[in-house]
Chain A
Amino acid sequence: MCPGPPRPAPYNALVGTVRQIEAAEITRVVRELCMEICYTVPAEMVELMRRAREREESPLGRQILDLLIHNQRLAAEGEYPYCQDTGYTVVFLDLGQDVHVIGADLYGAIDEGVRQGYGDGYLRGSIVRDPLFDRRNTGDNTPGFVHTRVVPGDQIRIQVDAKGAGSENMGKHAMLKPADGLEGVKHFVLKAVAESGPNACPPGIIGVGVGGNFEMSAVIAKRALMRKVGQPSSDPQIAELEAELYEKCNALGLGPEALGGTQTVLAVHVETMPTHIASLPVAVNIECHAHRTGSRVI
């Protein structure tokens, strides 16, 4: 199922109760997250890479995983970012409906956090101001790409992902026919991973969004990547699909850096949502082994 907005219970029924949050606080949190995640990946990633090293059958694959684990540790020392592509800054914002942001524009505050974090963190600005007519670098990685949900409560949850373009460029989207069904979706995912080859820097995480409409399928594919990595879906049918896709993606034999091996993906996360009687949208969003994400609650 689509991860609905978190529902803190009970719903705040106190009429007129509003919590004020300074925009500067949002800036501070975004700045810190940017600086942190580009050097230190989540603990679950360290564990999944270790497990991949244990499971890898190809000697070359094991050597490569050793190097990548070395790179992971070196980056965590805080001198050199994990990867020179410090990504698009994607921000998932869960904004409590009882929050009043004061002092500055909310999205402006987020971009200011990105600007400061990328500057102070010695991170690469990788965003050009216009895709077609003016591909000049903005220099500070702004703008961040923000997905906002308004949720019950008086808190703000901010999750930041530094999303590398090598894997992002290997994403695929299709409007399948309902008749294509589950088999059609599985085939589409496998083909996307097979074609991503070395460009997506395997082993990675595969985010799959099924259902919704054209754009929602893509958004939930990215949300799938934001789940605690390796944690199966809470829906047993989807968890089973994830396990099957994990096995089959690894059967592709790409292996670490696509130089052959049994560990092509570290996890497959699938999210679904209701869709139209005529539609079966599917999106595949790939994250490389540089899975740089973190979150805070204000």
Chain B
Amino acid sequence: MSVEVLGDGRKRVRAPLSDDDVRALDAGDVVLVSGNVYAARDAAHKRMVEMLDAGEPLPFDPSGQIVYYVGPTPERPGNVIGSAGPTTASRMDRWTPRLLELGLKGIIGKGGRGPAIRAELARHTAVYMAALGGGGALAALRVRSQKVIAFEDLGTEAIRAMELDDFPVWVVNDATGQDYYSEAVRPWRRNDLLPEDLRVPGPESAAEGDGGG
């Protein structure tokens, strides 16, 4: 079990993840991720699925691993990496189930996932976490090392092995199928100011709360 609960309620995990690790993460948790993750985004996913279709082995074994959806800027001389914040995760929805079938346990990106992916995450005991969208400079400081391991021709979209050090993320979709985005917004939506179709049920329930921080 690599999940540690810190005094302030945040959780610290180290990749790779076991099913028990994943079950210890709940929607809304702030998590600090350390250890080796694999950077891959659109073009790398498309190519990995084509390889699977052709019966070829992937450049890395996804079992137990975390994939980070990122395409960094080129690093300046002397730096480990350039800016390295997350990209929109839903673009990977089409390809994600194939990696979950092979045992992928964690995903880091930004933005929501479709309902089908939320169900797949639950079915495979996996977790989707969001990093700070547009916080690429800060993210760079939490990367200890990186190395292109496949698809070098894809440039920024190549697959990288990346060593993270207390990289901060929020758990959006946990292994029970919870979706933190829809929960988080509910207390703050001002139904009184909005047209009917944009209102959400139950904002009064948390009006006195802290918004689920």
Contacts and interface: CB of A to CB of B under 8 A. Distances in A.
Interface of A: 57-61, 63-64, 67-68, 70-71, 74-75, 79-86, 122-126, 135, 137, 139, 164, 166, 169, 187, 190-191, 194, 197-199, 201, 247-248, 251-255, 257-262, 288-290
B135 A191 contact: no
A81 B211 contact: no
Given A80-B82, A124-B71, A198 B134 contact: no
Interface of B: 43, 70-76, 79, 82-85, 87-88, 90, 110-112, 130, 132-141, 154-157, 170, 180-181, 184-190, 193-195, 197-198, 203, 210-213
Contact of B210 (A58, A125, A255, A262): A58
13 contacts: A58-B188, A59-B211, A70-B138, A71-B134, A71-B137, A84-B71, A122-B76, A122-B82, A124-B71, A252-B189, A253-B186, A257-B130, A261-B188
A199 B90 contact: yes
B185 A258 contact: yes
A79 B73 contact: no
A50 B43 CA distance: 37
B36 to A, nearest CB: 20
Nearest to A72: B137
B134 A253 contact: no
Contacts of A248: 193-194
A258 B70 CA distance: 20
A71 B181 contact: no
A84 B70 contact: yes
Contact of B189 (A61, A187, A253): A253
A289 B75 CA distance: 23
Contacts of B84: 84
A288 B133 contact: yes
Contact of A79 (B76, B156, B180, B185): B76
A149 B133 CA distance: 34
Contacts of B197: 191
Contacts of A80: 73, 79, 82-83, 136-137, 140-141
Most buried by A among B135, B189, B212: B135
A137 B133 contact: no
A71 B138 contact: yes
Q: Which 10 A-B pairs have the closest CB atoms?
A: A253-B188, A60-B213, A251-B190, A253-B189, A260-B184, A80-B137, A201-B133, A84-B83, A58-B211, A251-B193
A199 to B, nearest CB: 4
A199 B133 CA distance: 8
Contacts of A124: 71-74, 82-83, 156
Nearest to A82: B137
A81 B133 CA distance: 13
Given A199-B112, A258-B184, A85 B87 contact: yes
Given A201-B110, A252-B189, A191 B156 contact: no
Nearest to A195: B198
A80 B140 CA distance: 8
Nearest to B187: A260
B39 to A, nearest CB: 11
Contacts of A126: 71, 156
Given A67-B132, A80-B83, A197-B181, A166 B198 contact: no
A273 B141 CA distance: 46
A117 to B, nearest CB: 13
Contact of B155 (A57, A61, A139): A139
Contacts of B203: 253
B75 to A, nearest CB: 7
Contacts of B76: 79, 122
